[in-house]
Amino acid sequence: MIVQSSVTLEPATELHENSPVPRHIAIIMDGNGRWAKERGLPRVNGHSSGAHALRAVTETCCVLGVECLTVYAFSTENWKRPAEEVSALFGLLEHFLESELPTLQQNNVKLRAIGRLSELPKSTLHALEGTIQKTTANDGLTLILAINYSGRTELEDAIRAVCREVAQGTLTPEEFNQAHLQKHLYTRDWPDPDLLIRTSGEMRLSNFLLWQLSYTELYVTPKRWPDFTGNDLVEAIKEFNQRQRRYGGL
């Protein structure tokens, strides 16, 4: 379902009418801190500007008809950052969830979240659960926030769940296969990403969706996340459409 949006794409970056669009796009939103440092601003200003970029990219996904958008909002490793920055990040997230709710509703966006959410600050978890509940009836783009997320801890949690099935006698080691593991992943309700975008030029996955990205096409841009626009997203999709996905075959 395509909805009305405030996003305006430049004619040179619009997709052709019959151009395919990835069903699921994942983004590592990197470079907020460096963006702020380059401007002589506190790091929190970079995170705030990054939230505005997320709104623009989300709206562009709605216009293009993308089904799922997963963004790396806060990793389990991010707890190592200074306490002041971590507190500011969660404060910004709570503000984002409250202030962006009308935009999510206007664009028919369903919000979801993955990660060890029970470990979040109570106020953040309350705000997150509230926005998820309020958008649950929407059937357009699914926006998935990876918060307190790690690809390794996701696999750890999934394997632990499989071990419980074996211990309970409902699954034998001989019966176990990839499908049994996948049904316990945080992302079990959605297809694997077709396209991963990483901003700020870093060439690594940073413990993000390690299982799901096995055959995902990668697109890395030197742009800092706050500078990434809807038009940049279209350019990434254009390059994606030039790839030939073989999934290990010829």
Q: Name the catalytic one among 30, 192, 194, 232.
A: 30
pLDDT per residue over 59-76, tens digit each? Answer: 999 999 999 999 999 999
78 is catalytic: yes
Mean residue pLDDT of the chain comes to: 92
Q: Name the catalytic one among 45, 78, 139, 189.
A: 78
The secondary structure of the chain as a DSSP string is -----S----GGGPPPTT----SEEEEE---HHHHHHHTT--HHHHHHHHHHHHHHHHHHHHHHT-SEEEEEEEEGGGGGS-HHHHHHHHHHHHHHHHHTHHHHHHTTPEEEEES-GGGS-HHHHHHHHHHHHHTTT--S-EEEEEEEE-HHHHHHHHHHHHHHHHHHTS--TTT--HHHHHTTSTTTTSPPPSEEEE-TT--S-TTSSTTTTTT-EEEE-SS-GGG--HHHHHHHHHHHTT----TT--
pLDDT per residue over 74-105, tens digit each? Answer: 999 999 999 999 999 999 999 999 999 999 99
108 is catalytic: no
**What domains appear along the chain, each with residue ranges and CATH number?**
20-150+191-240 (3.40.1180.10)
Rounded to two decimals, the pTM is 0.91
pLDDT per residue over 166-209, tens digit each? Answer: 999 999 999 999 999 999 999 999 999 999 999 999 999 999 99
